[in-house]
Structure formats: structure tokens, C-alpha cells
Amino acid sequence: MPDILPDDESYWSAIRAQYTRSPDFINLENGYFGMPANPVRAALRRYQDEVDLENAFFLRTRWPARLARVKSLLADFTGAAPDELLITRSAVESLNILLQGYPFAPGDAILMARHDYDSSHDIVRMLAGRRGLAVMQVDVPHDLEDEDAVLALYAEAITPRTRVLLLTHIVHRTGRIMPVARLAALARGRGIDAIVDGAHALAQIDFTIPQVGAPFAAYNLHKWVGAPLGTGLLYIARDRIADIAPLYGDVSSARGDIDKLGHVGTVPPAPIMAVEDALAFHAAIGTRNKEARLRWLARRWMDRAAGVPGVTLYTPRDPRLHCALGAFGIDGVPAAEVVRRLMDEHRIFTVVRKFGGTEIVRVTPHLYSSPAELDVLADAIRQCVPPR
């Protein structure tokens, strides 16, 4: 795919036209899940009709080959082998499979960060109570952009009891891109397993799974890949599959077969089949081009808001350390109040996230977002700042 300039509005307006969204508000909360493009939505409807019409005949005769094709396409996209991938319903389900199936022993420790996803915290703390594990936590300040210093925080927190290093690739609270490959290498060097939460990374930034260097990872397909809601991905390096015990009952698969982890009963085939169409739409744009455009859109509003007195950006200023997601706060105004005013007064939808003890406003544009909409946001932020 040739390089497309991130500010080539002729090109990006044509991409924007491939999405149909509500005209009632400006949606800048695309971090929850990504809107599928119109071709993907149309494909989903066709596939659902096909499944409904053929019923059990489809599931028993056509579905295995269709599933294998989607897994093959995901392997090509991610750089992993098909037998190292399992399609799940979400990154959270993938993390549950990994963490609850991991061979912990009582007294083992899990090292995670305060900025990790809330559901990840829930899983870890539940496991700690059930299985006698210790939970260690690092605190990475939002304005700490020095990767060496970040690595030092993790390195200092590792103890002889540490068995797993839980890593977030892109922090869902602030958009910070973490140095996961370097942290995974740190873990390997200490004889520790890295488990990567890549929920926001896949198709937002340009990488392959082998480049991360972790034996275990969880991803979403319904965020930046643009697949229908309810599609996720689990990665386990081939030589580590046998180490993970099934979360869902299964005695029919071999210990080294990743399908042993996906015995969840009958699944809806249509959203999974539409992953193929989402990958095709994404490939027509190109990951590098998509990443550059999303970063450019994020910088559009952040650069305008950065100079406003009373506004704090919680996303790194270095554009290499973030992509689409960004976050801000306004001195003296609760984040929930900012979110309310943005929606009520400007018809801009955003969301409150927590970063430690601080509530912040997360802003997440999408490919269908226009520069003018980001300018409206920047002006609205300025109007939310109390007079001095």
C-alpha cells in the first residue's frame, strides 16, 4: 500500500464516506469498540442471512472451512501461525483464559501496572484470592516519557517470586504506547513470562505479534480492526500452549492444541466471518497510513488544547508514544462535569476514565472523524475552563 499523507483530506474524506454514523452527535468515544465500515456491516448481514437460512447444515458442513480461512487471514495479518491463534469474544475473555489457565503455584507473584485495564485488575485480584498469589504493582507517571526510566520501574519491582509480568501495549486510559517489546525482553531475561494486553494495539499501530516477543497476548478485533462487536483474539506461542489449562471444560483436544481453550459451545459465525471483510477494508488503507492518520487527528485537538491555561494533557506530547487515544483534565472542573458539558452544550460524546486517583476525560477519534470536528472539540474544551 503506498503512503498516504495523514492530512490528505481528499483521500480521507473518501474513507470517511465509508462509515454511516449518527448525525445527532460527534462521537469521540471510539475506544470502547470501533464502528465497522459500511462494507463490513453489509457483509455481516449477508453472513447472518446465510447462517439463518441454512441453519445446522451451515454449522456442520460449511463453518469449519470458513473458520479456518478467517484464522489463516488473521495469521497473515498478525505474523503468528494459525495454530497459535484462537478467536474469542474479546480481549477480556482472552486474558481470562490465559491468567486463569496459567500454571501458578501458591506464593507466586504477578507484577502489573496501576494503568492496566480494570478487568485485568479484577482477574488478577480474583486469582490472588483463590490461589494464594501475591500482586505487585508499578506506578508509571503519565508524564514519564523516558523508556529507560519506565523499564527501570518494572525491573525494580521484580522479585524472586515474580512469575508473570502483565503488560499493556496501549494504555486505555491515556493512550500511552508502552515499550512492550523491551519489557517482554526484560521478562525473558529474568525467567518470567510476559502476558500482553493488546486490546487497543491491533490495527491501531503497525506491528506484528512476533515483534512483541511475548509468549502470550490478548487482542480485540472489534476495536481498531473494525470487525463486528464480540470478536477478540488470543495468541499463545506454539511451544507454550500445553502450559495453559482450559478455562472451559475440554478433554477431547490435545494438550498442545490451542482449540482446547475455545470449547465454549455454539458461537455466532457471522461476526467471525465478517473479520475477513474488516481485514480487507483495513488492508486497502494500510496499517502505517491508518496509524499516521489517527495520530494526526489526535494531535489536531491536543496541540490546540495544550496551550490553554488550566488544561492538563495526560497523553505524552511525543507523537511516537501515542496514537488515536488521548486524555485531558481541567483544573477545578470534575471530569464528569466536563463530559456532561461537552455533550449537552456541544453534542460531543466523550468518556470519563480513572488514572490512579484522578478522573480524566478520554478522547478517541476514528477514521470517520473530521479535522473540523476535532477543532470543535478544542474550542469546546476552552469554553469549559473556568474564567480566571
CATH of the domain at 363: 3.90.1150.10
Indicate whether 187 pLDDT > 80.
yes
pLDDT at residue 387 in the model: 87
Q: What's the confidence (pLDDT) of residue 1?
A: 72
| Dist. CA 124–CA 129, nearest whole Å | 9
Average pLDDT over residues 253-261: 96
Give the chain's radius of gyration (CA, Å). Answer: 21
Cβ–Cβ under 8 Å, residues 272 and 87: yes
DSSP state of 205: B
Reported as a single tens digit per residue, the pLDDT across 81-120 is 999 999 999 999 999 999 999 999 999 999 999 999 999 9
User: Are residue 265 and residue 316 in the same domain, yes or no?
Assistant: no
Overall average pLDDT of the 287-301 stretch: 98
Asked if residue 35 is part of any domain, the answer here is no
| pTM to 2 decimal places | 0.96
Under 8 Å between Cβ of 182 and 154 = no
Do 293 and 326 reside in the same domain of the chain? yes
The pLDDT, as a whole number, for residue 307 is 87
Is 176 within a domain? Answer: yes
Burial 221-230 (b: 16+ CB within 10 A, else e): bbbbbbbbbb
Q: Are 237 and 366 in the same domain?
A: no
Q: Give yes or no: residues 17 and 83 share one domain.
A: no
Same domain? For 228 and 131 the reply is yes
Give the pLDDT of residue 388: 76
Domain count, the chain: 2
Are 129 and 225 members of one domain? yes
Look up residue 257 and give its amino acid. Answer: D
Helix (H) or strand (E) holding 285: helix 269-285
Spatial distance between the Cα atoms of 65 and 51, rounded to a whole number of angstroms: 14
**Strands 85-88, 232-236: parallel, antiparallel or unpaired by DSSP?**
antiparallel
Specify if 120 maps to a domain.
yes
Average pLDDT over residues 43-61: 97
Q: Is 2 helix (H, G, I), strand (E, B) or coil?
A: coil
Please give the helix or strand (H or E) that residue 87 lies within, else none: strand 85-88
Q: d(Cα 23, Cα 21) in Å, to the nearest integer?
A: 6
Residue 1 lies inside a defined structural domain of this protein? no
Same domain, 181 and 306: no
Task: Kindly state whether residue 194 falls inside one of the protein's structural domains.
Answer: yes
**Which residue, 15, 39, 1, 48, is CA-closest to 277?**
39
CA distance 277 to 41: 9
Place of cell 492444541: 257
Using CA atoms, how far apart are residues 238 and 338, in angstroms rounded to an integer?
A: 47
State yes or no: pLDDT of 171 exceeds 90.
yes
CA angle 335–199–314, rounded 5-degree value = 30
pLDDT reported for residue 46? 98
**Which of 281, 302, 319 is the C-terminal boundary of a domain?**
281
The string of DSSP letters for 344-356 reads: HHH-EE-EEEEET
| pLDDT-based confidence at residue 357 (cuts at 50, 70, 90) | confident
Are 89 and 232 part of one and the same domain?
A: yes
Residue 90 lies in a domain: yes
Q: How many CB atoms lie under 10 A from the CB of residue 147? A: 13
Give the C-alpha separation, 102 to 95, whole Å: 10
**Average pLDDT value over all residues in the chain:** 97
Domain membership of residue 36 (yes or no) is no
DSSP letter string over 172-205?
A: TTT-PBP-HHHHHHHHHHTT-EEEEEETTTBTTB
> CA torsion 235→239→240→244, rounded to 10°?
100
Nearest to 225 by CA among 22, 70, 67: 70
Considering the domain architecture, whether residues 228 and 299 belong to the same structural domain is answered as no
pLDDT exceeding 70 applies to what percent of the chain?
100
CB of 192 within 8 A of CB of 164? yes
Q: What is the DSSP track for 62-82?
A: IHHHHHHHHHHHHHHHHSS-G
Nearest to 70 by CA among 286, 287, 272: 272
Rounded Cα distance between 139 and 134, Å, is 17
Mark whether 269 and 292 lie in a shared domain. no
**Alpha-helical runs (H) found in 286-365:** 287-306, 335-346
Sheet holding 311-313, edge to edge: 311-313, 326-330, 358-363, 351-355
Assigned domain for 349 exists: yes
Strand partners, 351: 362
**Contact at 8 Å (CB) between 152 and 333?**
no
> Could you tell me the residue range of the domain that residue 375 belongs to?
9-30+286-384
